[in-house]
Amino acid sequence: MSSTAIVVGAGNAGAELALQLREQGWSGDIVLYGEESRLPYHRPPLSKTFMAGALAADQLAIRPQAAYDRAQVRLVPGAHVQAIDPAAHRITLADGAVAEYAVLALTTGARPRRLALPGLDPQRPGNNLHVLRTLDDAQAIRARCQPGSRLVVVGAGYIGLELAASATALGARVTVLEALPRVLARVTGIEFAAFIEQTHRAAGVDLRLGIRLERAECAADGSVCALVCADGSRIECDLVVAGIGVEPNVELARDAGLAIDNGIVVDELARTSATDVVAAGDCTNHPSALYGRNIRLESVPNALEQARTAAATLAGKARPYRQVPWFWSDQFDLKTKSVGLLTGHDHTVLRGDPSTRSFAVFYLQGERILAVDTVNNSPDFLAAKRIVAEDIRIPAAVLGDPTQALKDHLPAPRAAGG
Ligand SMILES: Cc1cc2nc3c(=O)[nH]c(=O)nc-3n(C[C@H](O)[C@H](O)[C@H](O)COP(=O)(O)OP(=O)(O)OC[C@H]3O[C@@H](n4cnc5c(N)ncnc54)[C@H](O)[C@@H]3O)c2cc1C
């Protein structure tokens, strides 16, 4: 019987899982298959420092090749896994090769939704309509973001806004079109969104909210010349980037009969419904003890922590995944960090003055703090992580008073394992 561990998908979760598995004592072979043609790399800079020109492509690798060599992890780039067969403990690659495994990890991530509009011909895509997920996507966008070039970003989520900020810094003329009445509507509250909107507008971004796109006008070669909105406005463009969310890559798992529900369903040990198969990262839907329901997250901290849990499970150790969700973003001079999920808050407490460009917003349900957004404010973020994770109650008068350090109101950290 095989003693090989196979990891499918060489992103943040896959790289961490493979290396951690060795660290956790797996003595058999470890093979990491990734369909992209490079070393696993960091995606967050693609819309931030890489897009703004402050970081080069060769600085994006998560680990150098030597780290995989040292851990005796065989990294196979450019290898698309076509099918998995959990009953036979076998995978099939796109070139027809078959490999057997003792244990399998699925870390297939997510892919961006594509813009579908009358006027766009999926059979004849132009070369100026992009999504932003891979280094190839980022390089193609950056090459077209010249001073004066007209960029339209569809979708005011984090990726769209970060791209808008970086492209503005490069001198592009940026329009952001959002269907909802505010930015970041899925993930944050009104005060924080309003502050981000003001920041973009002050920097010259043409931010249009509540916009319904009606059609695209394309040139003979399929490239987009303009987007036309339901209100009659027409925005001419040199480049369009759709930042309208992602879908988890679940096809391998689904075709093999694994349980799927907005992601590959896993338990708190990252086990899927198939024997000897774990999953981690953007592709999974996992139980959250904190929120009492299953959630699917799209963030590096989630990918890393869940990968560590999955590696421990495969190595025969139980390390339940119970991390509080958190996320960061960089836009212009703002470093924002958010913790928790906005689910059913009934009021907010503002801490600090947004005009100082350093503040926090607390989202509460009764006295329980469900989530916190912080701007240029690491001390409050660190405190907020514990507050949300441990359901620590702090009076609103303290939350709203930035002269009172939050850390002074936290109980002593719980002993490990307690
Ligand atoms: C532009 C951008 C900015 C971001 N900024 C932030 C940020 O500031 N903070 C944050 O926390 N998160 C951010 N994210 C999200 C973060 O990058 C993801 O949550 C994280 O990369 C998820 O890691 P993953 O390993 O689960 O998936 P991925 O990174 O998507 O990796 C999955 C890999 O599996 C490969 N794969 C899929 N199917 C197969 C197959 N059948 N065979 C072989 N290989 C396969 C894919 O090609 C991919 O390389 C950002 C993402 C983007 C795109």
Ligand 1 in reach of 85 Cβ (< 6 A): no
CB atoms within 10 A of CB 98: 11
**pLDDT tens digits, 170-202:** 999 999 999 999 999 989 999 999 999 999 999
Same-domain pairing of 235 and 277: no
The protein residue whose alpha carbon is closest to atom 41 in ligand 1 is 81
Q: Note down the domain range covering 280.
A: 5-111+247-314
Same-domain pairing of 237 and 256: no
Percent of the chain scored above 70 by pLDDT? Answer: 99
CATH of the domain at 190: 3.50.50.60
**pLDDT tens digits, 21-38:** 999 999 999 999 999 999
119 assigned to some structural domain: no
For ligand 1, the distance from its centroid to the CA atom of residue 327, given in whole angstroms, is 14
Closest CA to 176 of 146, 194, 156: 156
Ligand 1 in reach of 299 Cβ (< 6 A): yes
Same-domain pairing of 263 and 284: yes
Same-domain pairing of 145 and 207: yes
Buried b (16+ CB within 10 A) or exposed e, 306-325: bbbbbbbbbbeeebebebbb
Closest CA to 273 of 285, 282, 288: 285
Q: In what order do the strands lie in the sheet with 368-375?
A: 326-331, 334-340, 368-375, 359-365, 347-351
CB atoms within 10 A of CB 93: 17
Q: How confident is the model at residue 417 (pLDDT cuts 50, 70, 90)?
A: very low
Q: What pLDDT was estimated at residue 416?
A: 53
Identify the DSSP state of 410.
Answer: S
Same-domain pairing of 232 and 255: no
Answer with the one of 265, 283, 314 that is the final residue of a domain. 314
Cβ neighbors of 236 (< 8 A, separation 6 or more) are 150, 225, 226
Contact 257, 263 (CB under 8 A): no
Same-domain pairing of 339 and 238: no
For ligand 1, the distance from its centroid to the CA atom of residue 137, given in whole angstroms, is 13
Same-domain pairing of 259 and 226: no
Percent of the chain scored above 90 by pLDDT? Answer: 93
Q: Which atom of ligand 1 is nearest to the CA of 112?
A: 53
Average model confidence (pLDDT) for the chain? 96
Ligand 1 in reach of 81 Cβ (< 6 A): yes
**pLDDT tens digits, 360-396:** 999 999 999 999 999 999 999 999 999 999 999 999 9
Ligand 1 in reach of 50 Cβ (< 6 A): no
Does position 415 have pLDDT exceeding 70, yes or no? Answer: no
Closest CA to 251 of 9, 32, 37, 38: 9
Same-domain pairing of 357 and 390: yes
**pLDDT tens digits, 194-229:** 999 999 999 999 999 999 999 999 999 999 999 999
For ligand 1, the distance from its centroid to the CA atom of residue 130, given in whole angstroms, is 17
Q: Contacts by 53-61 with C-beta closer than 8 Å and gap 24+?
A: 53/142, 53/170, 57/135, 57/139, 60/135
Does position 232 have pLDDT exceeding 60, yes or no? Answer: yes
351 assigned to some structural domain: yes
Contact 373, 386 (CB under 8 A): no
Same-domain pairing of 251 and 107: yes
Ligand 1 in reach of 80 Cβ (< 6 A): yes
Ligand 1 in reach of 325 Cβ (< 6 A): no
For ligand 1, the distance from its centroid to the CA atom of residue 61, given in whole angstroms, is 13
Does position 343 have pLDDT exceeding 90, yes or no? Answer: no
Domains in the chain: how many in total?
3
Same-domain pairing of 185 and 284: no
Token look-up 């997510």 returns 110
Q: How many angstroms separate the CA atoms of 313 and 309, rounded? A: 6
Same-domain pairing of 133 and 219: yes
**pLDDT tens digits, 66-78:** 999 999 999 999 9
Ligand 1 in reach of 114 Cβ (< 6 A): no
323 assigned to some structural domain: no
Q: How confident is the model at residue 315 (pLDDT cuts 50, 70, 90)?
A: very high
* H or E element, residue 14: helix 12-23
Q: DSSP states of 335-395 as a string?
A: EEEEEE--SS--EEEEES-GGGT-EEEEEEETTEEEEEEEES-HHHHHHHHHHHHTT----
The protein residue whose alpha carbon is closest to atom 53 in ligand 1 is 133
Q: How many angstroms separate the CA atoms of 360 and 111, rounded? A: 31
**pLDDT tens digits, 129-177:** 999 999 999 999 999 999 999 999 999 999 999 999 999 999 999 999 9
Same-domain pairing of 78 and 34: yes
Does position 418 have pLDDT exceeding 50, yes or no? Answer: no
Q: Which atom of ligand 1 is nearest to the CA of 80?
A: 42
